[in-house]
């Protein structure tokens, strides 16, 4: 039976605020940190139940609000193979988080245990970590109460990145099996990445220093440790590494700032030299944006789409050179935010699929290929090698030296690239490998294809849940009639494309637009935002200008 007494006693210490409704969204629960105490407690209980349901396999819990402002926080669950929580559990997570009283919470739990036939006598194990947010420590304590209440065994992985936590979950659950993913420690993670990287660049010249904008977040200490393992193989310069300065996290820096404002973070002015490669992480180091300044000092952004193009072309070439192109089929997964220029470039080389925003959607779609490459334009992504592909790479016998080299590179890429989730640091090493092999500068990489000018804006509305989409979020079905107005407007812009969707991580509606000319893309975005606002307006002070 449920340990009702222990749950009751501890749950009473973490009451749910009465005026808040929680939702397990794109990346778990995410909102202002000071209302999240009860959510963290209940997630602890839920993680324990998930582990019991999966026969004692270790479940991961990451406390982070990633790209959101510092005052926000959040929590996401990680399944045993290191992927996001099975989507069928999301609505139950939402229901449990919204039970108003302890008694209601317990009765929801009882219903849940019964309908999922959870054997409560099974063991339960949970590994958890947090980012550097000041609210994190107290929230972790609430989570620990939840883990204790359900009688699960907890392992605290401390302050680390989201991708390290995903790595740990997979490493713990595969330990001692033939699918062993690596040592289940942060050190195991660094060793795995650094060893693979060094092998991949062993015949190349040492690259010039790469500047990393750490968003003043957890990427800073983790990148610093990675640098030690990389030794001289990749010189790194860490910027925006102030993890204890109040208000600094993601503030005018980091991957989301770069992608949305399409500008160099002001703090990097004078730090990034023309021609030098720079990149930005986000608050939990699962997103990556590259950039450089040309000789005129002009900023150029290399986003997730550019990363996908660079990496896909490289892997396609390796598979072909290795002689495995009949056995290994590649594919790319993008979202509606993918720049039209990138979709065209990629479609000419391999199959491309469009899915809804959110790593979980991209990840699952990518699993359908032998090698599935997925990147969101915002810099979140990775490359998945199916088990069958890994087996082929292990057993294949190359017949020429060129085939043998390409095969070795593919094997090492499989070690270098995080197989569980998008990982800014692993992706950064991947990009550096390709640039080294191709002898590309930022300019050459950038010229693979030309981005269509685009603009992303946010609109604050009274209720973002009114917004419903279809066709991988490319069309609105609700509010009724709004899509027709958008379609009519888009028609007037050359190369115009625009869509509207509710954010799953912030309380806003997002509007994306692209067009052949910069001014037109901007205008289209703001006019569509105007339509959204007129239909469902929020606070007039936030009306898009």
Contact residues for ligand G16, defined by CB under 6 A: 26-27, 66-67, 282, 286-287, 357-359, 376, 378, 380, 503-506, 510
Residue 105 CB, shortest distance to ligand G16, in Å, is 27
Helix (H) / strand (E) element for 519: namely helix 518-536
Bridge partners (DSSP) listed for residue 302: 290
Question: Which residues contact residue 415 at a Cβ distance below 8 angstroms, ignoring those fewer than 6 apart?
Answer: 192, 193, 195, 196
Nearer to ligand G16, 340 or 504 (CB): 504
Residue 506 CB, shortest distance to ligand G16, in Å, is 5
Pair 362, 352: CB distance under 8 Å: no
Residue 26 CB, shortest distance to ligand G16, in Å, is 4
Nearer to ligand G16, 262 or 378 (CB): 378
Residue 198 CB, shortest distance to ligand G16, in Å, is 28
Burial zone of 400 (CB within 10 Å; 0-12 exposed, 13-18 middle, 19+ buried): exposed
Is the previous residue joined to 105 through a cis bond, with omega within 30 degrees of 0? no
Query: Is 66 one of the catalytic residues?
Result: yes
Pick the closest to residue 425 from 266, 142, 242, 230 (CA basis).
230
Angle at 273 between CA 272 and CA 278, to 5 degrees: 45
Catalytic residue among 66, 280, 342, 356: 66
Nearer to ligand G16, 376 or 523 (CB): 376
Q: Cite the DSSP H helix spans in 99-245.
A: 102-115, 136-149, 162-174, 186-200, 219-230
Question: Which residues contact residue 217 at a Cβ distance below 8 angstroms, ignoring those fewer than 6 apart?
Answer: 131, 132, 243, 249, 250, 254, 281, 282, 283, 284, 285
Nearer to ligand G16, 135 or 378 (CB): 378
Q: Which two tokens stand for residue 331?
A: 């594919």
Pair 211, 95: CB distance under 8 Å: no
Sign of CA dihedral 485, 488, 493, 495: positive
Question: Which residues contact residue 61 at a Cβ distance below 8 angstroms, ignoring those fewer than 6 apart?
Answer: 43, 44, 47, 75, 76, 77, 78, 126, 127, 128, 129, 143
Nearer to ligand G16, 67 or 133 (CB): 67
Residue 81 CB, shortest distance to ligand G16, in Å, is 17
Residue 342 CB, shortest distance to ligand G16, in Å, is 16
Pair 23, 128: CB distance under 8 Å: no
d(CA 72, CA 503) in angstroms, rounded, equals 15
Nearer to ligand G16, 184 or 506 (CB): 506
Nearer to ligand G16, 93 or 319 (CB): 93
Residue 80 CB, shortest distance to ligand G16, in Å, is 19
Which residues are catalytic, by number? Answer: 66
């Amino acid at each position: 039976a449920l340990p009702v007494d222990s749950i009751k006693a501890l749950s009473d210490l973490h009451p749910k605020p009465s005026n808040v409704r929680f939702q397990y969204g794109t990346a778990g629960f995410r909102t202002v940190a000071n209302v999240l105490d009860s959510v963290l407690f209940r997630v602890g209980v839920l993680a324990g139940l998930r582990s019991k349901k999966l026969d004692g396999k270790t479940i991961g819990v990451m406390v982070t609000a990633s790209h959101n402002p510092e005052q926000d926080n959040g929590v996401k669950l990680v399944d045993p193979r290191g992927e996001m929580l099975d989507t069928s559990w999301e609505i139950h997570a939402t229901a449990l988080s919204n039970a108003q009283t302890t008694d209601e919470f317990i009765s929801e739990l009882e219903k849940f245990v019964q309908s999922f036939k959870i054997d409560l006598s099974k063991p339960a194990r949970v590994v958890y970590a947090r980012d550097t947010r000041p609210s994190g420590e107290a929230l972790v304590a609430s989570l620990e109460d939840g883990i204790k209440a359900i009688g699960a065994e907890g392992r605290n992985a401390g302050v680390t990145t989201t991708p390290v936590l995903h790595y740990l979950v997979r490493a713990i659950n595969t330990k001692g099996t033939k699918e062993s993913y690596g040592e289940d420690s942060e050190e195991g993670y660094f060793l795995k990445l650094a060893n693979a990287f060094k092998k991949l660049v062993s015949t190349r010249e040492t690259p010039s220093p790469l500047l990393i904008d750490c968003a003043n977040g957890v990427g800073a200490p983790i990148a610093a440790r990675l640098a030690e393992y990389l030794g001289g193989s990749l010189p790194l310069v860490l910027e925006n590494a102030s993890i204890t300065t109040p208000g600094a996290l993601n503030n005018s820096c980091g991957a989301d700032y770069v992608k949305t404002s399409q500008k160099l973070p002001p703090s990097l002015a004078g730090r990034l030299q023309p021609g030098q490669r720079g990149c930005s992480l986000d608050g939990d180091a699962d997103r990556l944006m590259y950039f450089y300044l040309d000789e005129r000092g002009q900023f150029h952004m290399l986003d997730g789409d550019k990363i996908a193009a660079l990496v896909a072309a490289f892997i396609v070439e390796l598979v072909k050179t290795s002689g495995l192109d009949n056995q290994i089929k590649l594919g790319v997964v993008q979202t509606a935010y993918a720049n039209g220029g990138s979709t065209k470039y990629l479609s000419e080389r391999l199959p491309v699929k469009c899915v809804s925003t959110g790593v979980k959607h991209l990840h699952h779609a990518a699993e359908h290929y032998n090698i599935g490459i997925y990147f969101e334009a915002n810099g979140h992504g990775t490359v998945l090698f199916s088990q069958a592909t890994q087996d082929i790479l292990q057993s294949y016998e190359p017949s020429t030296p060129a085939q043998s080299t390409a095969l070795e590179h593919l094997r090492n890429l499989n070690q270098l690239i995080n197989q569980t989730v998008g990982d800014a640091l692993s992706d950064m090493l991947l990009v550096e490998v390709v640039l080294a092999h191709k002898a590309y500068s930022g300019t050459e990489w950038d010229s693979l294809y030309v981005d269509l000018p685009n603009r992303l804006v946010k609109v604050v509305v009274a209720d973002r849940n009114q917004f419903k989409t279809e066709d991988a979020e490319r069309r609105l079905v609700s509010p009724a009639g709004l899509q027709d107005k958008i379609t009519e407007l888009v028609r007037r812009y050359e190369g115009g494309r625009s869509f509207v969707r509710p954010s799953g991580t912030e309380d806003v509606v997002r509007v994306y637009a692209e067009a052949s000319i910069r001014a037109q893309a901007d205008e289209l975005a703001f006019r569509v935002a105007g339509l959204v606002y007129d239909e469902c307006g929020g606070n007039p002070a936030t009306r898009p200008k």
